[in-house]
């Protein structure tokens, strides 16, 4: 218990929880985009990725120039135009925040079953 294996397992567990939550978010964003995009070319959806961000993970569109417009946070959204945006990332964040504890609990159960924690 005091030889460092528990600390290493906890570190790995925390990293895996972050990654699993991020990949869940990516899946939810992709699903929502399939529902809301009117004429998808596939380019925007192909740019949605999970990347390492400091000690955690981040889901982003890779800086696609029209990403803020699709999200509804760009300078060319309403009231300038009638298009309010899809709010895909913002809506997905609330869903992921509710699901994250369950993802962590399921992973913790696997760690316990393997005797790692």
Reported pTM: 0.89
Helix count and strand count (H, E) for the chain: 4, 2
Q: Is the pLDDT of residue 7 over 70?
A: yes
Whether the pLDDT of residue 102 is over 80: the answer is: yes
pLDDT digits 0-9 by tens, 24-75: 999 999 999 999 999 999 999 999 999 999 999 999 999 999 999 999 999 8
Q: What pLDDT is recorded for position 115?
A: 78
The band of 1, judged by pLDDT with boundaries at 50, 70 and 90, is low
Give the whole-angstrom CA distance, residue 62 versus residue 77: 20
Per-residue pLDDT band for 77 (boundaries 50, 70, 90) equals confident
Q: 75 is written with which tokens?
A: 């300078």
- Alpha carbon of residue 17 to chain centroid: 12
Share above pLDDT 90 across residues of the chain, in percent, rounded to a whole number? 74
């Amino acid at each position: 218990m005091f030889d460092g294996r528990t600390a290493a397992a906890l570190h790995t567990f925390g990293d895996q929880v972050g990654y699993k939550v991020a990949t869940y978010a990516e899946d939810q964003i992709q699903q929502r985009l399939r529902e809301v995009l009117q004429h998808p070319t596939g380019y925007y959806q192909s740019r949605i990725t999970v990347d390492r961000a400091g000690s955690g993970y981040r889901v982003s569109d890779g800086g696609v120039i029209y990403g803020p417009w699709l999200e509804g946070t760009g300078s060319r959204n309403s009231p300038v135009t009638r298009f309010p945006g899809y709010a895909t990332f913002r809506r997905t964040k609330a869903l992921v925040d509710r699901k994250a504890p369950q993802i962590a609990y399921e992973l913790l159960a696997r760690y316990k079953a393997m005797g790692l924690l």
